[in-house]
Homo-oligomer: A and B are copies of this chain.
Amino acid sequence: MSSSFTKRDFKDAAYGQMARLGKALASPKRLELLELLCQAGRSVEALAVETGMTLANTSQHLQVLQTARLVETSKNGRYVEYRLADTLVSNFFRSFRLLAENRLAEIEQIRRRFFNEEGELDPIDRETLLERLQQRKAILIDVRPANEYAAAHIPGALQIPLEQLKKRLSELPRNKEIVAYCRGPFCVLAKEAVDLLRAHGFRAARLEDGVPDWFAQGFPIATGDEPVRKHVSRAQ
């Protein structure tokens, strides 16, 4: 009765372990880090820049995620690359986000506030996109940084990181709708791309899916640096 492993001990221990994961998910910044790592692994500094945190703070948050076994590291020279510990984590993170979107109406409000502020229309849905792509009425561009495209992208998507978009507008057809996607519904790259494209007279729309969403819906994904040439935009 004294030192035995009781029912209560067992439950406390089991749920205590589960709570380790919960604690890792209890900070906005850690969630932002996780979402970035769902796109591609990267260095602490890159993550710090993306999230607007100091290096030390980023490092500590990453260590919390690592302690919860959600991410793992490898050392490349003097860089430490953090990446997801398992693709299971990416799937889980997606269902976590979906639960949040479903249960917390505030998220929809926040999104509306940001995306509709400047006249951004509703995003295009998967089915409409596929249809228009097949009819060659639209082309799809991936506006994330190059390394994320290399890690995984939607097959057939043209790679134009947002930072290059302005210079490469001539590569895009004016007689088609340009659909931009980025990391997912909380990422602003596609919105900025659409704003830029519209400002230059293109018809443009945003796809809310990120690569993990696309993949989770059963669609294929591609990897590697698909070399981008002029004719690729025609091949779309």
Contact = CB atoms under 8 A, between A and B. Distances in A.
A34 to B, nearest CB: 9
A163 to B, nearest CB: 14
A86 B102 contact: yes
B28 A113 contact: no
A79 interface: no
Given A86-B102, A97-B18, A102-B88, A110 B26 contact: no
Contact of A69 (B22, B52, B104, B113): B104
Contacts of A114: 5, 10
A32 interface: yes
Interface of A: 5, 7-8, 10-29, 31-32, 35, 52, 68-70, 85-86, 88-89, 91-92, 95-97, 99-100, 102-104, 106-107, 110-111, 113-114, 117, 186, 188
A170 to B, nearest CB: 27
Q: What are the 4 closest A-B residue pairs judged by CB atoms, nearest first?
A: A22-B25, A15-B28, A22-B26, A69-B103
Contacts of A25: 18-19, 21-22, 25-26
A10 B96 contact: no
Given A18-B31, A18-B97, A92-B95, 18 more contacts: A5-B117, A10-B188, A12-B28, A15-B32, A18-B100, A19-B26, A19-B27, A19-B28, A20-B104, A21-B96, A22-B96, A25-B26, A26-B26, A69-B104, A86-B102, A88-B99, A88-B103, A96-B96
A97 B21 CA distance: 10
| Copies, count | 2
29 contacts: A10-B186, A11-B186, A11-B188, A12-B28, A14-B110, A15-B31, A15-B32, A16-B28, A17-B100, A17-B107, A17-B110, A18-B28, A18-B96, A18-B100, A19-B25, A19-B28, A21-B100, A21-B104, A22-B31, A69-B103, A86-B102, A86-B103, A88-B99, A88-B102, A89-B99, A91-B95, A92-B96, A92-B99, A96-B96
